């Protein structure tokens, strides 16, 4: 729990400090990369750490991850340029991948399959709470101590985590029967990296049809094909194709991927709705995640405790997927420019209640179906599927929102005659959430338009953003229905109360 809090809080705490960081380091052009660098390296390293943990034990990988994460965080705090900060965030991600991957796998070493339900719920709750308090902590630290302390503050938490892991965490089961799939690891990184970079650039600094983005997608396809050919014959593959072909492991990985989109879209775009569509403050948009995470934490605790007490999990997964689909259906139909706060809170709670059991129990079921010696590999593969799908989902949702903004403003009188810079400013989702940029947009529009027309354009932008968000929520709802269909294919089994890895009737 301490290690997971260290990694997950850092993912959100930096966001609040970024405006101050780019102002001091003059690095707006690399703004998104402060997030992307961490996500990129932590995601692509997950399967690699999973295999290393199986071979050498989870404990040394966890300790290594804490050291790398902490040193990179301190170095990030001393950054003098935005490029230095991005590089250190990438190194942080390498440490973070070990922390996030091994934390879930350690639960498999410590507890029987039936016990894991409750503890997966606890750790999922830590992740949920971190997502809420991270931005709040980041804001307080930035306003009082300065943005550099956002990175320095992790040192005492890391020291406590390191000592707890060193003293109490067992070494973990190991599988020394084969070597490390070095070529597979390199090919996996070569496949995932251009995909994540393309998703971060597309629709932002580069058009989706630009040569750069298309070349990155082509690289992903090329290296992905080579990776699949190699992994079919690798003796100890970093991507466990044989395991993924097993029904339970394959279904839970697919389910985690579908759920990952719903989780990422909720965390990224519900605050955008509150700020951009309703025009509320940044603090209010951060607080809208509180009811979401309240439902999330409550559902993970209840489902985990039930699974531990009875060994049953199937109906909780069914209920979770159903509530997630209903929550996103409500978001699609009810969240608009005039939605009252009580409705927003109710929708957030419903989505959180649905996502909670899915985020924890899919991993539990995958671990039970995996050979004990490959626990880390299967756990990391499940998380990798969730992270990759979530990243792709956020990018697709961003493209949908951008398209709706373009279409929604194109029909307004006078907008077509505006300069390219003004149109880009008005049609950017970030403008509606940043008071300074919104003021600049109003000033730019007032040069060519009357005051009433200026407010009409801003209102149309909010309505177009709301339409794009509704379409993104609808996409997440459809994927939740697919997750429901996947869940219904899982066997209705009882989680064993021993470390045997076969599901029992």
pLDDT tens figures, 205-230: 677 788 888 999 999 999 989 988 88
Q: CA-to-CA distance for 39 and 96, rounded, in angstroms?
A: 9
- Beta bridge mates, 206: 202
Maximal C-alpha separation, the chain:
75
Assess whether pLDDT exceeds 70 at residue 361: yes
Assess whether pLDDT exceeds 50 at residue 203: yes
Q: What is the 3-state secondary structure (H, E, C) of 331-352?
A: HHHHCCCCCCHHHHHHHHHHHH
How does residue 505 score in pLDDT terms, banded at 50, 70 and 90? very low
pLDDT tens figures, 241-251: 777 788 888 89
CA atoms within 13 A on the CB side of 87: 8
Q: What pTM value is reported for the model?
A: 0.78
Which of helix, strand or coil describes residue 427? coil
Tokens of 146: 């300065």
DSSP per residue, 45-96 = HHHHHHHHHHHH-HHHHHHHHHHHHHHHHHHHHT-SSHHHHHHHHHHHHHHH
In the block, which residue shows the tokens 């990175």? Answer: 151
pLDDT of residue 504: 42
Using a 10 angstrom Cβ sphere, with 0-12 exposed, 13-18 middle and 19 or more buried, the burial of residue 179 is exposed
- Beta bridge mates, 202: 206
Q: CA-to-CA distance for 16 and 19, rounded, in angstroms?
A: 7
Give the CATH superfamily of 1-178. Answer: MFS general substrate transporter like domains (1.20.1250.20)
pLDDT tens figures, 70-120: 999 999 999 888 888 888 988 998 998 888 888 878 887 788 777 777 777
Instruction: Name the nearest CA neighbour of 486 among 277, 312, 253.
Output: 253
Q: Which CATH architecture has domain 239-505?
A: Up-down Bundle (1.20)
Angle at 240 between CA 238 and CA 246, to 5 degrees: 170
How does residue 375 score in pLDDT terms, banded at 50, 70 and 90? confident
pLDDT of residue 350: 93
Q: For the chain, what percent of residues have pLDDT higher than 70?
A: 88
Q: Give me the helices (H) in 111-246, please.
A: 113-144, 149-152, 154-168, 182-201, 211-233, 241-244
Angle at 24 between CA 18 and CA 25, to 5 degrees: 85
pLDDT tens figures, 308-344: 888 888 889 999 999 999 999 999 999 988 888 889 8
Query: What is the rounded end-to-end Cα distance, in angstroms, of the chain?
Result: 32
Measure the CA dihedral 190/193/198/204, to 10°: -160
In sign, the C-alpha dihedral spanning 243, 247, 249, 252 is positive
Which of helix, strand or coil describes residue 209? coil
């Amino acid at each position: 729990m301490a290690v997971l809090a260290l990694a997950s809080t850092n993912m959100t705490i930096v966001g609040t400090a970024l405006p101050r960081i780019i102002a001091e380091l003059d690095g707006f052009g690399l703004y998104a990369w402060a997030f992307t660098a961490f996500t990129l390296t932590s995601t692509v390293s997950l399967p690699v750490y999973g295999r290393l943990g199986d071979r050498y034990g989870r404990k040394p990988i966890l300790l290594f991850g804490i050291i790398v994460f902490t040193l990179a965080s301190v170095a990030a705090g001393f950054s003098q340029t935005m490029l230095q900060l991005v590089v250190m965030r990438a190194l942080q991600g390498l440490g973070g991948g070990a922390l996030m991957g091994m934390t879930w796998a350690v639960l498999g070493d410590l507890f029987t399959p039936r016990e894991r339900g409750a503890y997966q719920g606890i750790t999922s709750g830590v992740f949920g709470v971190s997502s809420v308090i991270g931005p709040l902590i980041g804001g307080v630290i930035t306003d009082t101590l300065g943005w550099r302390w956002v990175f320095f503050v992790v040192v005492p938490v890391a020291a406590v985590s390191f000592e707890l892991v060193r003293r109490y965490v067992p070494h973990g089961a190991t599988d020394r029967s084969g070597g490390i799939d070095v070529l597979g690891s390199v090919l996996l990184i070569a496949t995932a990296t251009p995909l994540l970079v393309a998703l971060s650039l597309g629709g932002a600094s580069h058009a989706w049809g630009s040569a750069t983005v298309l070349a990155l997608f082509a690289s992903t396809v090329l290296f992905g094909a080579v990776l699949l050919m190699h992994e079919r014959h690798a003796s100890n593959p970093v991507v466990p194709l044989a395991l993924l072909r097993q029904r339970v492991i394959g279904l839970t990985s697919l389910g985690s991927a579908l759920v990952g989109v719903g989780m990422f879209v909720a965390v990224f775009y519900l605050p955008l709705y509150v700020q951009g569509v309703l025009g509320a403050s940044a603090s209010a948009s951060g607080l809208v995640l509180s009811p979401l995470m309240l439902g999330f934490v409550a559902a993970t605790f209840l489902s985990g405790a039930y699974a531990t007490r009875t060994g049953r999990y199937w109906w909780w997964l069914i209920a979770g997927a159903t509530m997630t689909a209903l929550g996103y259906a409500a978001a699609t139909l009810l969240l608009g420019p005039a939605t009252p706060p009580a409705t927003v809170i109710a929708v957030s709670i419903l989505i959180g209640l649905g996502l909670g059991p899915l985020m924890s129990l899919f991993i539990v079921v995958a671990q039970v179906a995996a050979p004990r010696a490959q626990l880390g590999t299967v756990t990391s593969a499940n998380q990798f599927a969730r992270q990759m799908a979530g990243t792709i989902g956020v990018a697709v949702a961003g493209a949908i929102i951008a398209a709706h903004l373009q279409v929604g403003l194109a029909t307004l009188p006078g907008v077509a005659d505006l300069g390219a810079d003004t149109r880009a400013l008005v049609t950017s989702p970030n403008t509606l959430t940043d008071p300074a940029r919104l003021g600049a947009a109003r000033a730019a529009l007032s040069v060519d338009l009357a005051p009433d027309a200026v407010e009409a354009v801003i209102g149309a932008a909010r309505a177009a953003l709301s339409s794009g968000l509704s379409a993104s929520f609808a996409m997440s709802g459809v994927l939740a229905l697919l997750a429901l269909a996947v869940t219904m294919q899982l066997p209705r089994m009882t989680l064993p109360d021993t470390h045997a890895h076969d599901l029992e009737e």
